[in-house]
Structure 1
């Protein structure tokens, strides 16, 4: 009996040690990214929403300056907020008071509520900004974050000043959705909420036109990236909700000036959807196409993306 107990304890310790070793590369990368974000004058904070039913983690400007406009960056799938804006924040924090929330069920943000819509995400981001005392800001959302940014602008017209939407297929027909999903040829939920390294590699190949960044990372690192995801079920439900949504024939036209940015070679949301969104929003919108770039413009063309965002948001201040 004693030998069995000792054996079980040894096995438990081995599993704990193995788990620690397995997560070490990911933990180290997260720590380095946190140091870099701190170097860029950002600090992590957490705000409680919905009578503490929801907790939102936000990287916020250390010293808000009155001579800089506020800019909220809303990430898409593919990790938390730190991973998606690595190549952009150094430049953007020079020109803006930057705020980067983890959307609910990404990174350190979570909720006990059952909503899984982009509208719920939008409400949480806007409420989080209020909690930080930020009552006016422009918003830049990429991919899934573009859906959230659109809803933020729709529900908080006075709060959201200007809108930048990057590679986000908000306006589409049911036929187009079926065609694009068939062209991908893979289960979208599996790619966006990966279970194995190959799922991540497939998503990267679809997102990139010039290069595949996933080849820079060995399988053990990608497994650690997957293991660090603590909200798999909830994130699957977010994707399923988005895929099940029907085209909205009454989608509001935003009152804010809106900049649409798209990669010419986007294989996830083809460029046709950029023109449809531009037509839907009308004369208060502007469309910029970045040549020879795929869906992940934040990785393939961060400098061009930053130039467009800065010029548009600053406007006459430039």
Structure 2
């Protein structure tokens, strides 16, 4: 009965139509070790358009977190690649490796298989961990990076010090992998600066059944691996230009981690703090966040394509940016930023 009348399942199918309408197609890549990665790629890739890899966080799947960004980014001239990380959205791996480094290697292999040699990357929360590792491991592939509320500078000892609302990985997993409405309700309140006032348990049960019951063990292992023995001194320093974006009221990864990351990267980075937003800044402030992403990559794209694409390409990018700004109101027709259903870490 629940599956037949599931609002969550219906909405997931609606997101499929959103991606198809944006000119993307679902693709499956099977890697050499047996890992299978599901992702959305341009139906007709254009080498003249800068490719952008969008990596989701620890939430439902890639569609739920990036659907509202497709039209404005496409109108601005990007080719978009939107993967599901391993153990999300049908992607899986047979081996025991649960590190963000392994996720990064798999995404790099997927981009190679798609024929994309150089690209920009945007990662939200846990997706930012993977994006950071990609930039460190594959500097010849990753041109620039945007890291959104990505606590890559976290240390294991931070949990015991009281920096977070949880004190150990098991407690974190109980919230990030909610199996009961009270835990999902807690996740919503931690993620949003202004959470919805009405959060019916029946809707939460539906969401949990559809989105939170697959690969639970593997996802718990991802969380444990992410935190265990983590030290800032072991974190490599990426050299690509990096934009760090943070919600001022983030309760999952406090803003202190954003400042810590900026100090770690120094002159290669800039930090943007978005007011009246929490950890789910990509949902609460989608238009503002999208403008930061476009400005960061488009300015670079104009300069990097100038030598071999000529003035016509520059005018196209600038014109696309102006068109995107004039049509930015269309983002209001995308999924509401107050939705509880795209929580991520």
Normalising by structure 2, we get a TM-score of: 0.81
Per the alignment, in what secondary structure is the counterpart of residue 67 of structure 2?
coil
Number of the residue aligned with 1:72: 53
Farther-moved stretch of structure 1 (80-89 vs 243-252): 243-252
1:276 to 248, 257, 260: 260
Larger Rg: 1
Number of the residue aligned with 2:285: 301
1:92 to 61, 68, 73: 73
Q: What do the CA deviations read for 1:222-281 (whole angstroms, capped 9, x no partner)? A: 323322332111111111211323214132111111110011111111111111101111
Task: Rate the CA distance shift 1:197–1:86 in 2: closer, same or farther, 3 A.
Answer: farther
CA shift, 1:27, in A, is: 2.3
Number of the residue aligned with 1:123: 105
In the alignment, the residues of structure 2 paired with residue 101 and residue 149 of structure 1 have an alpha-carbon distance, to the nearest angstrom, of: 12
Task: Rate the CA distance shift 1:38–1:262 in 2: closer, same or farther, 3 A.
Answer: same
In the alignment, the residues of structure 2 paired with residue 98 and residue 151 of structure 1 have an alpha-carbon distance, to the nearest angstrom, of: 20
In the alignment, the residues of structure 2 paired with residue 279 and residue 181 of structure 1 have an alpha-carbon distance, to the nearest angstrom, of: 18
In the alignment, the residues of structure 2 paired with residue 221 and residue 210 of structure 1 have an alpha-carbon distance, to the nearest angstrom, of: 19
**More RCO (CA 8 Å, sep 6+):** 2
Number of the residue aligned with 1:8: none
Number of the residue aligned with 1:27: 9
Alignment length (residue pairs): 297
Alignment map for 1:209-288 (pairs within 5 Å): 209-212=193-196, 215=198, 218-228=200-210, 229-288=213-272
Alignment map for 1:144-223 (pairs within 5 Å): 144-180=126-162, 183-184=165-166, 187-212=171-196, 215=198, 218-223=200-205
1:138 to 120, 139, 143: 120
Farther-moved stretch of structure 1 (242-251 vs 77-86): 242-251
Q: What do the CA deviations read for 1:95-150 (whole angstroms, capped 9, x no partner)? A: 21011100000011011111111111111111111111111110000100110000
User: Unaligned regions of 5+ residues in structure 1, if any?
Assistant: 1-17
> 4+ residue stretches of structure 1 with deviation over 4 A?
none
Normalising by structure 1, we get a TM-score of: 0.88
Any conservation in 2 of the 1:87–1:298 contact (CA below 8 Å)?
A: no
